[in-house]
Amino acid sequence: MTNAALVLEDGRVFRGEAYGATGVSLGEVVFSTAMTGYQETLTDPSYHRQIVVQTAPQIGNTGWNDEDDESSKIWVAGYVVRDPARTPSNWRSKRGLDEELTNQGIVGIAGLDTRTLTRHIREQGAMRAGVFSGSDLTDDASMVDQVKASAQMVGANLAVDVTTDKPYVVEAVGAKKFTVAALDLGIKSNTPRMMAARGIEVHVLPLTSSFEDILKVSPDGLFLSNGPGDPATQDHAIALTKEALGRKLPLFGICFGNQILGRAVGRGTYKMRYGHRGINIPVIDVTTGKVAITSQNHGFALEGTPGEEFSSEFGRAVLSHYCPNDGTVEGVRLLDAPAFSVQYHPEAAAGPHDAAPLFDEFVTLMNEAR
């Protein structure tokens, strides 16, 4: 057994044993309340530069398969679990979670009290941290200094790290009905699949694309994906969004894309105390009062009051959804232009699927624009 420590920037130290690769990994420590779907969590680009704490006590029971990755690799900076499964058991499992973490060089820690750690993050807020093991496990003061010298999440431009290097196309399933340009801010694999199932040919474009690049694919709509980092850094994506709104190109954004649309219509964003991460988070549509249980992963949010109507350079807009747990704004809808966005994941894998019909709403928007 190799000793390990999770060291927080406020000086708190949690001790356990190494899980996955040994070494040191620095990032922002956050917690996820999902009880399943850890493979999708680990491969979600939105978790870039974050050390993820699983609040569910036992992790790794179903091992690791070759079908459920949401991107080309594991993106988390580090991984924290309480009770790792000793023997995975699932008919699709190809190897254990610890083996995959080791293969991909992800430094983790197991055997610590994740309940106490989660309460600490809830009370003190998400903060910089480091997982240390092996020869990198030194005295507490030195490790705290190393953590304090690491980068902050506020002001972090991380989408540029996770976007695709070159455009690619996901073909429509069956007859092609629409073409969508999807701006890759950290897109998950299931998102183009969900659109393709609705007859949409999806052109996934790098974040660096110009609006001319978007127009080259002759899109019926523009999609803004999820992604990591501070939305205040995304001047280019915001400019592209404004261009689309000015041309009345139907637009749908999720998660990070919701914050991009919000900033494009004049709303500010702020860093939340500890964010929303999990697959069991309620959201209320202010127009219908309908509640959806959603998958979320965000540490920033839009400023404003749920249901608030406001004016923008593209006409009237409304803050359309909110989380009843804390009143956080969870959606924007333009009333004079074909655009809307939500702070959660309608493509959610491993679920829930309450929000999947939002893709149908996007189809309706493109139909109406025709």
Query: Which residue ranges are tagged as binding site?
Result: 46, 227, 229, 256, 259, 297, 299-300
- Cis check for the bond before 350: say yes or no (omega within 30 of 0): yes
- How would you label 75-110 residue by residue, b for 16+ Cβ within 10 Å and e otherwise? bbbbbbbbebbeebeeeebeebbbebbbeeebbbbb
**What does the alpha-carbon distance between residue 229 and residue 80 come to, in Å, rounded to a whole number?**
21
Could you tell me the two tokens for 224? 């803004």
**What does the alpha-carbon distance between residue 330 and residue 318 come to, in Å, rounded to a whole number?**
11
Neighbours of 290 (CB within 10 A): 11
Distances (CA, A) of 270 to 21, 233, 243, 259, 281: 34, 12, 24, 10, 20
Confirm if 272 and 334 have CB atoms less than 8 A apart. Answer: no
Contacts of 109 (CB under 8 A, 6+ apart): 4, 5, 6, 14, 16, 17, 18, 19, 78, 79, 80, 81, 131, 133
**What does the alpha-carbon distance between residue 84 and residue 71 come to, in Å, rounded to a whole number?**
23
Contacts of 255 (CB under 8 A, 6+ apart): 46, 225, 226, 227, 296, 297, 298, 342, 343, 344, 345
Q: Which residues are catalytically annotated?
A: 255, 345, 347
